[in-house]
Chains A and B, each alone.
Chain A
Amino acid sequence: MRKIFDFHGGIHPQENKHQSLQTPIRDAGIPPELVLPLGQHIGAPASPIVEVGQRVLKGQMIAEPLGFVSVPVHAPTSGTVSAIEDRQIAHPSGLQAPCIVIASDGRDEWAPLTTAADYRQLAREELLARIRNAGIAGMGGAGFPSAVKLSTRPGSQVNTLIINGTECEPYITADDVLMREQPGRIVAGARILQHLLAPGETLIGIEDNKPEAIAALRAAAQGTEIEVVVFPTKYPSGGEKQLIEILTGKQVPSGGLPLDIGVICQNVGSVVAIHDAIVEGRPLISRVTTVTGEAIAEPGNFTVLLGTPMQYLLARAGYRAEQNRRLIMGGPMMGFTVPDANVPIVKTTNCLLAPGHGELPAPSPAQACIRCGMCAQACPVSLLPQQLFWFAQGKEFEKLESHQLFDCIECGACSWVCPSNIPLVQYYRASKAEVLQLRRDHERSDQSRMRFEARQARLEREEAEKTAKRAARKQAAQQRAQAAAAGGSGDEDPIQAAIDRAKAKKAAQQAGGAQHDASEQEKLEKAVVTTRQRLETASSKLAQAQAEGSDLVTALQTGVDKTRAKLAAAEKALQEFQQAGPALTAGDAAGDPAAAAIARAMAARQADAAMAPADKARNQLQGLEQRLEKTRDRLASSQANGDEQKIIEALAMTVTRLEEKVSAAREQLKNPGDA
């Protein structure tokens, strides 16, 4: 006899399973319209590969997986794709999500299927690919892609393969009837998994409240290495982690996977689906769903096509809408209420629970927590729910994390036992969301802090470079001044200097005139070529973005326009240069700039010499006053425009300096003797 372990806590709610066990599995039939959400599993939603109006066959893939953790969707019956659009799905928030809608034609015509005469001949990768392509995701409720779960890493050894037939939630009997009626397929499916994983042992775990299922499976497993293990009924022993502890005595490390301790778990429904996919080539297009509750006249289990509207299935079971206030997908412990009875059945819909008015009454208002600790005794993960509740109320997020809020499996045992009717699980869900949000915010603020620091460092570096440059310039200026003071006499004739400068310039121009023009032209030509190249690159990028329908199209378009404008400007500049070039060279003789400068300087000098000192000073003052006026105007306009602080400061400084100069000039004008 195998040793059975116990897990901490757990509860014994009323089972209420007998209601739906009175009849064998019934076929729900083909509804006129099927709505297939693209995301019926954990992971990336599938991507549609059919078009509206296209005829599809039963079992034909209509959406392909996107990425590793994803599975495809298949047409559950033959018909026409009538829409690919957002529809309301079975989600507690009443979320709308992309769905493929099929109008069934009632012919139920199969697509050709790939069967395997002997799966033992198939390679491991091929088996996994077929499981994935059959669209199989965990059917116990979580919906994790089975192929991903079965893809063991090289070198990791599977000691125990566990087939989960626990079904610990009250009311649900979908797995129970499957085990009673199709034990052969379960065992055959388990043998496929044995072939795939080569586990040390294979166990089928069932609670002791399902004697018929146990007997059926034991009979079917006769002569195989598969062991049916029975253990006492306790909620939530069907939780993967709890079941692993019951059967192996080992705990899955927090944040780890069962495979870390050499265990892989599969729900019996998933095992049947794997069997059908490998042996018969049938993808996952239907499942067994329990329909129960006091508002159901004939509760029982149905084989139902995925995508069937809940309303259709409920009608098949004799739904009395007037007796029902809430419709629960899943069981009473972890199921969620759906917003509308028209949402479709999906791969994870193991139960539809329509309680009557007196059934599962809403708890009375919450009272104060008296820290009785019943929740801590019930918690299958050994948390302290009363402390978590305390911290959740106070929003003490660090404490929540140090009390392992994120190890909570939301089984609801704490809320169930709470004598004060406190909706504990609701508090934990909300707190988890808040902590996650906080973590995201934290990451974001870290990033912006880093950005800010980087910017600050860059600004400082630039400022330092500027200061260094300024210092260098100042030094150079001083050196030049010293050199000038040392080299020339104090009152060098400015006319002579101007003449010299102009002459030198003229000589240089005459010497390298043609060459100069040539280099200028070269530069302009080069600019035209580069701009053209840039325009080409930008245009090709834009075309690509347009093809992909990227959001960047507008931005890229502006860029292209700008570049085109630049190119036009560059071409124009080149043209102008080419036209003006010869003219300039030709007119050189006529309008000799050096001569003109000489004439201007001489005139100024003469005028200066002719002026009395007082007039000279007045002239100077006038010039200064004009400059002051101009600078003041600029300062005012800068302030009005809200220019950068630096500019305003610089202008203000200039104004002050000019004011000082003006007053000094006035002083000088009053006392000309000082000059």
Chain B
Amino acid sequence: MALLRVTSPHAHGPMSTPRVMQNVLLATVPGIVVLTHFFGFGTLVNLLWACLVALVCEAAALKLRRRPIGFYLKDCSALVTATLLAIALPPYSPWWLIAVGIACAILLAKHLYGGLGYNPFNPAMAGYVILLISFPLQMTAWTPPRGLGQTPGLVEALQACFWPSSYDGVTMATPLDLMKQNSSLLVADLWAQTPQFGRWAGLGWEWVNLAFLAGGAWLLYLRVFSWHAPLAMLASLGLFAAVFYDGGSSASGGSPLFHLLSGATMFGAFFIVTDPVTSAVSVRGRLVYGAMIGALVYIIRVRGNYPDAVAFAVLIMNFAAPLIDNYTQPRTYGRRRDGSEQ
């Protein structure tokens, strides 16, 4: 029997792309549980329907591209995209909204560019922004969190999704909306007068953010990604909020804690900004990339037209990632910073 001839290395580490993706999926569990606790079964229905549509879209795209379907479906990247988009969508979204969003994410943002690894934009965020611009009404209809109104049950959640015309849900402004629309009240007064605020940020939202923070911390512990981009984003968002807190006047943008625990901050920091495909690659590059996203999130939240800004900020910085890469090449062993020989 002839001996095999293969090149080194002959050993391989334990990490695999499917396992990375599965870990990311597992890390979303605490956030989903808390979301479900505060907003009812809407998120779960979103999630299941989104995953189904995503698998169908992925399989169809792979078939059209003549790629082995089973092999690529197993990498779980479509499920990650679907999960992230489903979490970002308001609970009790109609089926078609989710389907359009997922189709845009998988087909346009991912496969049109060559599939996993070649997409310049984060597919989930691209799908989210397309929906936000096309269907602003549906995309801003958030149910009040538990404690402020009736939380719909499972049957109502299914009804809302698959037979939307028969569902009549209650919606309410989110804390970020309120903060943005505030023009006359001191922050403390706004807090006292509006029931949507909790201890540090929005009622329910603060726990949602803490749950995503916990999931992110677990991924960091597993070294699925490095700390640089998420921490840079949180630090720069916190810094901006602190600088422009303005002592809580009526013109204040909100406290750093409010910004860190509101909307999609933690979800974005640990599940979106860390998407390796669309972010900068080097350590310094990721610091710059994360910090710029944090700054953009604050600017858009406080000065822009939309209450939350993670999706826009991420997409803008996706554009900039190759440029950042170009200027943040690490110093190679035995060379100067500019790459010349010593």
Contacts and interface: CB of A to CB of B under 8 A. Distances in A.
Contacts of A415: 9, 12
Interface string B190-233: 00000000000000000000000000000000011110000000
B171 interface: no
Contacts of B115: 368
A371 B275 CA distance: 9
A253 B334 contact: yes
A370 B117 contact: yes
B184 interface: no
Interface size band for B: 35 or more
A559 interface: no
Interface stretch (B14-22, B29-37, B101-109, B259-267): B14-22
Nearest to B71: A365
A24 interface: no
A415 to B, nearest CB: 5
B332 A369 contact: no
B115 to A, nearest CB: 6
Given A368-B116, A371-B117, A326 B6 contact: yes
Contacts of A373: 225-226, 276, 281-282, 286
A416 B9 contact: yes
A370 B116 contact: yes
Given A253-B342, A333-B8, A404 B332 contact: yes
A337 B10 CA distance: 9
Interface string B268-293: 00000000110101110010000000
A11 B335 CA distance: 22
B332 A383 contact: yes
B306 to A, nearest CB: 28
A127 B287 CA distance: 54
A376 B5 contact: no
Contacts, number: 178
B153 interface: no
Contacts of B75: 367-368
A353 to B, nearest CB: 8
Nearest to A333: B9
Interface stretch (A421-429, A525-533, A606-614): A421-429
B11 A14 contact: yes
B139 to A, nearest CB: 28
Interface stretch (B51-59, B92-100, B124-132, B323-331): B323-331
Interface string A404-431: 1001001010011111110101100100
A252 B334 contact: yes
A372 B225 contact: yes
Given A377-B226, A382-B330, A254 B342 contact: yes
A353 B10 CA distance: 11
Contacts of A255: 334, 341
A338 interface: yes
A380 B330 CA distance: 12
Contacts of B281: 371, 373, 376, 384, 386-387
Contact of B3 (A7, A339, A362, A426): A339
B64 interface: no
A363 interface: yes
A338 B77 CA distance: 38
A14 B14 CA distance: 10
Contacts of B283: 376
Contacts of B137: none
Contacts of A416: 9, 11-13
A589 B282 CA distance: 105
Contact of A384 (B10, B20, B330, B342): B330
A155 B95 CA distance: 80
A575 interface: no
A256 B282 CA distance: 26
Nearest to A401: B339
A382 B334 CA distance: 10
Interface residues of A, number: 75
B341 A254 contact: yes
B133 interface: no
A371 B276 contact: yes
Contact of B332 (A256, A327, A337, A407): A407
Given A256-B334, A376-B281, A425 B7 contact: yes
Nearest to A403: B329
Contact of B335 (A7, A361, A407): A407
B16 A421 contact: yes
B163 interface: no
B8 A336 contact: yes
Contacts of B12: 361, 363, 415-416, 421
A374 interface: yes
Nearest to A378: B13
A8 interface: yes
A407 B4 contact: no
Interface in A46-103: 92, 94
A466 to B, nearest CB: 52
Contacts of A377: 226
Given A254-B334, A381-B332, A417-B13, A334 B117 contact: no
Contacts of A140: none
Contacts of B135: none
Most buried by B among A7, A353, A374: A374
A355 interface: yes
B342 A92 contact: no
Contacts of B71: 365
Contacts of A368: 17, 75, 115-118
B29 to A, nearest CB: 21
Given A368-B118, A372-B276, A376-B281, A423 B332 contact: no
Contact of B333 (A8, A338, A386, A420): A8
A425 to B, nearest CB: 7
B329 A332 contact: no
A325 interface: yes
A482 interface: no
Contacts of A382: 330-333
B240 to A, nearest CB: 26
Contacts of B330: 376, 382-384
B62 to A, nearest CB: 12
Interface in A179-219: none
A360 interface: yes
B329 A170 contact: no
A335 interface: yes
A489 interface: no
Contacts of A407: 332-335
Interface string B75-99: 1010000000000000000000000
Nearest to B340: A254
B81 to A, nearest CB: 12
Contacts of A376: 281-283, 330
Contacts of B116: 367-368, 370
Nearest to A253: B342
Given A387-B281, A407-B335, A417 B15 contact: yes
Nearest to B325: A387
Contact of A360 (B1, B5, B11, B223): B11
Interface string A300-339: 0000000000000000000001001111101011111111
Nearest to A406: B332
Contact of A337 (B3, B17, B334, B335): B3
Contacts of B325: 384, 387
A370 B277 contact: yes
Which 9 pairs, one residue from A and one from B, show the smallest C-beta to C-beta distance?
A412-B9, A368-B117, A253-B342, A254-B334, A326-B4, A332-B11, A381-B333, A372-B276, A419-B15
10 contacts: A325-B4, A326-B10, A328-B10, A332-B9, A334-B8, A368-B115, A369-B117, A374-B223, A376-B281, A412-B9
Interface of B: 1-13, 15-17, 19-20, 71-72, 75, 77, 115-118, 223-226, 276-277, 279, 281-283, 286, 325, 329-335, 339, 341-342
Given A333-B10, A362-B6, 7 more contacts: A11-B13, A170-B11, A254-B341, A337-B6, A355-B10, A368-B118, A416-B11
